[in-house]
A and B are shown apart, each in its own frame.
Chain A
Amino acid sequence: MKIPDLIQVCLLCLMSIIVLASQQAVAAAPHPYEAAGTGYFRDGDTLPGAYLQYRQSSEYGGSLWGLGPGGGNVKRSSFWADAHSGVDSYMLRSCASCHEDQRYSLHSSRGNVTCVQCHRGQPISGINHYYSGMNPIRRHAYVCAKCHEAASASFATYVIHEPPPLASSTVEEFPLFYYAVLFMMILAVGVFALFIPYVTLWGLRELIGLFTERRNTDV
Chain B
Amino acid sequence: MSSKINVRRFSLTQMMFHFFLIITFMLLSVTGIAWMYIETSWGKALATPFGGYVGALEVHRITGLILLAGFGIHILYTIWKVDWKHFPRSLFSRDSLVFQWRDVKDFILHLGWILGLSKGPQFDRWSWWEKFDYWAVWWGLIIVGVTGLMLYDPVFSSDYMPGWLLNIALWVHRIEAVLAMAHIFTIHFFIEHWRPRCFPFSATMFEGSKSIEHLREEHPAWVARIEAEGRMDEMLCPSAPVPLRILYFGVGYALIGLGVFLLVFALLNVGLLTLKL
Q: How far does the alpha carbon of A80 sit from the alpha carbon of B158 in the complex, in Å?
A: 30
Question: A40 at interface (Cβ–Cβ under 8 A)?
Answer: no
Q: Interface of B with A (CB < 8 Å)? A: 35, 38-39, 53, 111, 113-116, 154-155, 158-159, 161-164, 166-168, 170-172, 175-176, 178-179, 182-183, 186-187, 190-191, 194-197, 274-277
B17 to chain A, nearest CB (A): 23
Question: A90 at interface (Cβ–Cβ under 8 A)?
Answer: no
Provide the A41-77 mask, 1 if CB < 8 A to any CB of B, else 0: 0000000000000000000011110001100000000
Closest B residue to A185 using CB positions = B175
Contacts known (A158-B163, A192-B182, A203-B195); A164 close to B274, Cβ less than 8 A: no
Q: How far does the alpha carbon of A188 sit from the alpha carbon of B136 in the complex, in Å?
A: 12
Question: A187 at interface (Cβ–Cβ under 8 A)?
Answer: yes
Provide the A148-173 mask, 1 if CB < 8 A to any CB of B, else 0: 11111011111100101111000000
Q: What are some 6 contacts across the A-B interface (CB < 8 A)?
A: A109-B39, A110-B53, A159-B164, A165-B171, A199-B187, A203-B196
A69 to chain B, nearest CB (A): 5
Quick check: A62 and B183 within 8 Å, CB to CB?
A: no
Question: A130 at interface (Cβ–Cβ under 8 A)?
Answer: no
Taking A154-B162, A158-B158, A180-B168 as known contacts, 5 extra A-B pairs with beta carbons closer than 8 A to each other, sorted by chain A number, are A63-B162, A110-B53, A154-B159, A187-B175, A201-B114
- 5 closest cross-chain pairs (CB), A and B: A104-B274, A164-B276, A155-B158, A158-B163, A184-B175
Q: Interface of A with B (CB < 8 Å)? A: 32, 61-64, 68-69, 103-104, 106, 109-110, 148-152, 154-159, 162, 164-167, 174, 176-177, 180-181, 184-185, 187-188, 191-192, 195-196, 198-199, 201-203, 205-207, 209-210
Quick check: B176 and A184 within 8 Å, CB to CB?
A: yes
A133 to chain B, nearest CB (A): 17
Closest B residue to A165 using CB positions = B171
Quick check: A61 and B164 within 8 Å, CB to CB?
A: yes
The contact of A159 among B116, B167, B183, by CB within 8 Å, is B167
Closest A residue to B157 using CB positions = A155
Contacts known (A104-B274, A188-B179); A149 close to B155, Cβ less than 8 A: yes
Quick check: B187 and A109 within 8 Å, CB to CB?
A: no
The contact of A195 among B171, B187, B274, by CB within 8 Å, is B187
Q: How far does the alpha carbon of A155 sit from the alpha carbon of B151 in the complex, in Å?
A: 12
Q: Chain B at the A interface: mostly helix, strand, loop or mixed?
A: helix
Contacts known (A158-B166, A198-B114); A109 close to B159, Cβ less than 8 A: no
Q: How far does the alpha carbon of A196 sit from the alpha carbon of B275 in the complex, in Å?
A: 25
Q: How far does the alpha carbon of A192 sit from the alpha carbon of B185 in the complex, in Å?
A: 12
Quick check: B191 and A201 within 8 Å, CB to CB?
A: no
Quick check: B171 and A152 within 8 Å, CB to CB?
A: no
Q: How far does the alpha carbon of A69 sit from the alpha carbon of B163 in the complex, in Å?
A: 10
Q: How far does the alpha carbon of A177 sit from the alpha carbon of B165 in the complex, in Å?
A: 8
Quick check: A202 and B114 within 8 Å, CB to CB?
A: yes
Please give, as numbers and ranges, the residues of chain A lying within 8 Å of B182 by CB-CB distance: 192
The contact of B163 among A156, A198, A207, A210, by CB within 8 Å, is A156
Quick check: B154 and A177 within 8 Å, CB to CB?
A: no
Please give, as numbers and ranges, the residues of chain B lying within 8 Å of A203 by CB-CB distance: 190, 194-196
The contact of B179 among A104, A180, A191, A199, by CB within 8 Å, is A191
Contacts known (A148-B155, A180-B171, A180-B172); A174 close to B164, Cβ less than 8 A: yes
Closest A residue to B196 using CB positions = A206
A143 to chain B, nearest CB (A): 13
Q: How far does the alpha carbon of A117 sit from the alpha carbon of B175 in the complex, in Å?
A: 30
B258 to chain A, nearest CB (A): 21
Quick check: A177 and B113 within 8 Å, CB to CB?
A: no
Q: How far does the alpha carbon of A156 sit from the alpha carbon of B167 in the complex, in Å?
A: 12
